[in-house]
Amino acid sequence: MKLIKEINPENVLFLDIETVSQTHHFDELDGLGKLLWEKKSRTLIEKSEMTLEESWGSAGIYSEFGKIICVSVGQFRNFSSNRKFVIKSYFGHDESELLSDFSEMLKKHFNSSMNLLCAHNGKEFDFPYLARRMMICNLEIPAILDTSGKKPWEVSHIDTMELWKFGDRKSFTSLALLAHVFGIATPKDDIDGSQVGRVYYEENDIDRIERYCKKDVLTIAQVFLKFRLEELLNDASVEYV
């Protein structure tokens, strides 16, 4: 993989996804679904001392039991002069439809070997989650997301959490913490990832979730700039479409 300073930022698609459990309550699952979740969540329940029903609140992080409700993406334009960072979202209640639209965008605009994806913890979460849910929705996986058969070091996507590790495999550093240590201003009047399920199912406010997802994409791009020792984006440089 190229050094981060050698990468053309205009070839990078920054992204973040928001996921929720496939149903609001555990009792809404069929009998087999309940049994399979009981097996999947056994370690989680033992560590946290949750009940089986309570553990369902964490189901959204597992692609087999969750679903994607928002994919926000951002891209630099005119990076060398009059720099702009354009952000767009694919979101809604119909996962198959939003993933189909997102997939078509990737096939049309990010189908070159020069293109890269960038996310925070993307290699462990966002990228494989997207590919798995596309398969479940019977959608063809775009080439840029299809890493089947590749060794870990052959996957050239950018993961800002991995960059921060500098070879350390033991720790997890949140995007919020990384932004804080870099002095990147982020809105503090919004939800966090643990509240997405509640906002979706109880408040029925997917627009709020979409706004939160876009803010994370912007933060990822700012962290990327910090790794390059570049000047951060200001409000006038960010465009929402």
Mean pLDDT of the region 31-50: 91
Assigned domain for 26 exists: no
The per-residue pLDDT for range 61-107, each reduced to its tens digit, is: 999 999 999 999 999 999 988 899 999 999 999 999 999 999 999 99
CA 13/CA 168 separation, integer angstroms = 25
Domain that holds residue 107: 4-16+72-124+156-240
Average pLDDT of the chain, as a whole number: 93
Residue 8 lies in a domain: yes
pLDDT higher at 86 or 169: 86
Rounded to the nearest 5 percent, the helix, strand and coil shares of the chain are 45, 15, 35
Is 49 among the domain residues? no
The single residue listed with the structure tokens 């990076």 is 79
In this structure, is residue 50 part of a structural domain? no
Judge whether 58 lies within some domain: no
Would you say residue 64 lies in a domain?
no
pLDDT of 234? 94
- pLDDT band with cut points at 50, 70 and 90 for residue 109: very high
Q: What is the CA radius of gyration of the chain?
A: 18
3-state secondary structure of 230: coil
Residue 29 lies in a domain: no
159 versus 80: the higher-pLDDT residue is 159
By the 8 A CB rule, do 117 and 127 touch?
A: yes
Q: What is the pLDDT of residues 5-20, one digit of tens each?
A: 899 999 999 999 999 9
> How many domains, in total, are found in the chain?
1
213 phi/psi in degrees, rounded to 5: -65, -40
Predicted confidence band of residue 228 (pLDDT cuts 50, 70, 90): very high
**What residues have CB less than 8 Å from 164, skipping those under 6 apart?**
173, 178
- Cβ pair 209, 17 in contact under 8 A: no
Give a yes or no: residue 183 inside a domain. Answer: yes
